[in-house]
Amino acid sequence: MKNKWGKYSFLLAAAFLLILTAGCSGMPVLDPKGPVGESQKNLIVFSIVLMLIIVLTVMVVLTYMLVKFRERPGRGDKDYDPEHEGNTKLEIIWTVIPLIIVTALSIPTVITIYQLEEPPQSSSDKEPLVVHATSADWKWFFSYPEQNIETVNYLHIPTDRAIEFKLSSADSMGSFWVPALGGQKYTMANMRTTLYLQADEAGTYKGRNSNFTGTAFAEQTFDVHAESTEEFQSWVEETQQSAPPLSQDRYDELLAPGLLQEMEFSSTHLQYVDHGKMGSGDYLINRHQDKFEDLPALEGGEDVAND
């Protein structure tokens, strides 16, 4: 019987570990490529380790109590005191310990939150590159006001330089997230949020909308191409020279609910509307209200615009 239970315990443990590790291959959150993601990873690891210590301590104490005070032959009522009431020492202990735990978690969390509201210190000698990221059902527009170019569903950034993302939405509330570079932040119409990210390693990183926004939410993704300053500048110049300008009519057309392929333009939509400012929330609705009443079927990307 003992060997039988031991065998079952081993199989259960193996199955549990298999479930835990099934989706863990290539977790970019725990393999960050920039200082913002590194700070958040350190905070996550610290929190997990602290909580594991707490859980293990509780399990050890629980095991000790179960063994020491278990019912057993010859025990009798020698430890039973019907008049026992309260225990000041224990009450102080189980009040103080949770306060210590909460404090230990709160201090590094608050410090990290405030640090991430500023550009990373590792590139403080360079001005952040400003990029307006605008979400719309179900695509992303990236506007470079200083370079006067705009891209759809992808962007290029230089390495070792902070990127100041100014986030807004043309319609529903979204969430801008590049797991390899840092945590998410919400995009909302009529207001602007700011997120600082930085890539220290060249590469292509996946980004997405992490807030459910309806039919094609799962396909609202984009690529972040991190490259050297020289390569980034070369891409900017090529886009400025070869990409067509973005007219207001063309932008209005692209805003319609649906999926889009990657595009680039030699001007930005900011000259027509800034979705991060008050009063801009009805811009898309006024132009495409009928589209929201009869949304196209988007399964399999069949309605992706090719032009």
Among 33-47, 128-142, 200-214, 282-296, the least confident range = 282-296
Residue 261, pLDDT above cutoff 60: yes
> Of the candidates 304, 111, 272, 117, which has an alpha carbon nearest to the alpha carbon of residue 195?
117
**Domain boundary assignment for the chain:** 29-60+91-117, 123-292
**123-292 — its CATH code?**
2.60.40.420
Structure tokens, 200: 């220290």
Among 1-5, 110-114, 136-140, 253-257, the least confident range = 1-5
What distance in Å separates the CA atoms of residue 153 and residue 234, rounded to the nearest whole number?
20
Q: What is the pLDDT of residue 20?
A: 52
Mean pLDDT of 102-130: 93
Among 9-13, 30-34, 234-238, the least confident range = 9-13
Among 48-52, 75-79, 246-250, 264-268, the least confident range = 75-79
Residue 219, pLDDT above cutoff 80: yes
| Predicted confidence band of residue 85 (pLDDT cuts 50, 70, 90) | confident
Mean pLDDT of 278-300: 68
Q: What is the pLDDT of residue 186?
A: 95
Mean pLDDT of 271-297: 76
pLDDT greater at residue 242 or residue 75: 242
Place of tokens 């400025």: 240
> Of the candidates 187, 192, 189, which has an alpha carbon nearest to the alpha carbon of residue 279?
189
Query: Which amino acid belongs to residue 287?
Result: R
Q: What is the pLDDT of residue 59?
A: 94
**H helices within the chain, ranges in order?**
2-21, 35-68, 88-115, 229-242, 248-254, 283-293
